[in-house]
Amino acid sequence: MKTNLKISLIAHTPQPEKIIAAAAKLCYSKAGTEKILNDLDSQTTDKFLNTLVSMGHMSPIEHAAFTFAAEGISRSLTHQLVRHRIASYSQKSQRYVREGQFEYIVPPAIFQNPAALALFERSMADAQTAYDNLADSLKEQYVQEYLAAGKGSKAAKNAAEKRAIEDARYVLPNACETKIIFTMNARELIHFCRQRSCERAQWEIREMSEQMIVILKDLAPTLFKLAGPPCLYAPCPEGAMSCGKTVEKRLQYGVTEK
């Protein structure tokens, strides 16, 4: 089946823009933290953050953290996601959770091509059959081994199940649906959005990035005002590999600056 990406912000640093502004002001002030915080109203926070971003003073931005939950995504996406190393990840395990009738993500190009879709769905069904058969066969083998080693019936079945599915999972496809919770600080999120909202990013992670940008800009508009592909405010850095869609991307993000 085709599942739909669902991304939600489940936790974040309270008053992220104020916390970042306070951290940055502390670097240049003799005042204590309490006074700095008390003096930061929304107007001064916004003004200071704009200055901070324009100066490229990015280290204070790391003080704000954001935790997202993503569902209806593929293993292909998460293989790309975890390359962003300044983050924490907790993902549904295929070693401990049996993939009985797994859901899968269908790329749009395949979904729109009847012949390709038929082949894709047959492949998913074949993978499910192979996984189920391998898991059942290995579990039966391992149960006998554990019983022979003196384990009780329940313990033997539990241990055999876990051992069987961690080997059977090798036949599962990248399309297999997964769930993940991840936390990034604001600086890494800006970098993530810069890389993954670019047209040269794969469609699925680009869609996730675009949804995250909407959420982040709604929560902290000044902090994340530059979140988006690198071509929004400067020439595309991809050179000869540019997608050539700078105008379209700027329209998408409502950017009128040249």
**Active-site residues: which are they?**
196
- Burial class from Cβ neighbours inside 10 Å (0-12, 13-18, 19+) for residue 159 reads middle
C-beta separation of 111 from 2 below 8 A:
yes
- C-alpha dihedral sign at 87, 92, 93, 94: negative
Contacts of 247 (CB under 8 A, 6+ apart): none
Amino acid code (one letter) for 144: Q
C-alpha triplet 92, 182, 42: angle, nearest 5°: 150
